[in-house]
Amino acid sequence: MKMNDLTKAKKVIVAGAGIAGLCCAYELMKRGHEVTVLEASGRHGGHVYTAHDGLSDGLYGDYGQEHITRPGYDRYWGYIREFGLEALPYPRRKNLVRRIGGKFYTETMLADPVILRSLGFNEKETDYLAHHPWTDLQLLYQGPYLDKFRDEYQPFGLGLDELDKITLAELYRKDGASKAAQEILGGEGSSALSSLWGSAVLKLRGVPPAPTELFRLKGGNQMLPNAFAKRLGERVLLGTRVLSIEQGAAGVTVTCRQSDREKTFSAEYLVNCIPLTVFRNIPITPALPPERQYIIDNTSYDSYQRFVFQAASKFWLEDGVSINMELGHPDLWEVWQSAEEVETTRVIVLATGAGGISPQRALAIFRELYPGKRDTIEQAISKDWTKDGYSPSCERTAFPIGEFHKFWPLIIQPHGRIHFAGAYADNLNWGTEAATRSANRVAAAIDEA
């Protein structure tokens, strides 16, 4: 895939060396364009971060990106093949136990009509869950709307626009969801239209709401950013923080701080791959139009803390329980095993929870809730993304109720010489798949300009 003979090589600055920035720069480089990647921190990868420090026996923990799916992640799988990386099965959603009302339930228990009724599900929901995965419950209520969507990039004009004015939770209540189902399904802050569209995109791609066929990269998910960065070489400048951006009719000038001095870079195009929560603090001249600035100022993301527990053994096997758990605790949400391929008797248990609590507090919560006799956890470390200065955010959250049209499709469109790529800049806020999809879209647009 190279630039054709009639196309002039373009000079492009990519701001941010997360997976979207690295992917976009790589695709532009392959097409014969001159690329410089500016990254404020001292490492590439952004929210994809595999940690080895502090762990024993060659073990590691993925602080950021958790997994990839099949089906889904089409671009990502292409790069796995292109770079000769190895994807390992990752059964973190299989044999899952869920803590509900202070009690743990297995998947078998949550398909038992007697138990489902005791939890407060109505007959319609009980019959559905007796024959479908727990994570498909949303389709019981969303399903009748999804076939309206035929084009995954067009959510409007399908007779459903009024659903942007109510929350998804209101739609569930209107359509008869029980209180038990409402607690599981949530949706209080989500536009019904936006949420239905996201589910429709997955259906159009043949992907279930919460896939169980999961994979991760051998050696950690940072192997893919590493592969991009290796091929980009000196084009990636670390420790180079964007201070300001000036856009003209023919190009863009970016002022940065590199070590203790300011430096400017000029190019024909700028691709912003910095999270909008950080990008909104960078002055742009001339100022962006109000409708674009509104998107930058009001796009919100979720965030979390990732905990890595190193244990001396697979202690849960002696207790006859699964380590794949949804804990239902406000500070510690879920745990599962990782790094299984490392040859050692020690193991890594990953956990996700709220920012602002210590690893020791997270471990204490786990020990309080763990349904077995005892654990063999030796230490706990963490990465609190909520306090990270460069990549504080994960996936884009729901657009404000009634304002879907203000964000889509403008959020993925360029403004003059500035293009936008990242997990937020796609129709489906699906982590690294959205990042690589948007990166390819932008690279193609600049190449064809």
Per-residue pLDDT of the chain (449 residues), as tens digits, is 455 555 689 999 999 999 999 999 999 999 999 999 999 999 999 999 999 999 999 999 999 999 999 999 999 999 999 999 999 999 999 999 999 999 999 999 999 999 999 999 999 999 999 999 999 999 999 999 999 999 999 999 999 999 999 999 999 999 999 999 999 999 998 899 999 999 999 999 999 999 999 999 999 999 999 999 999 999 999 999 999 999 999 999 999 999 889 999 999 999 999 999 999 999 999 999 999 999 999 999 999 999 999 999 999 999 999 999 999 999 999 999 999 999 999 999 999 999 999 999 999 999 999 999 999 999 999 999 999 999 988 889 888 899 999 999 999 999 999 999 999 999 998 889 999 999 999 999 999 99
CATH architecture of 11-47+222-301+406-448: 3-Layer(bba) Sandwich (3.50)
pLDDT at 393: 83
Residue boundaries of the structural domains of the chain: 11-47+222-301+406-448, 53-70+303-387, 97-204
Q: What is residue 2's predicted lDDT score, i.e. its pLDDT?
A: 52
Q: How far is residue 275's CA from residue 262's CA, in Å, rounded to a whole number? A: 22
CB atoms within 10 A of CB 287: 9
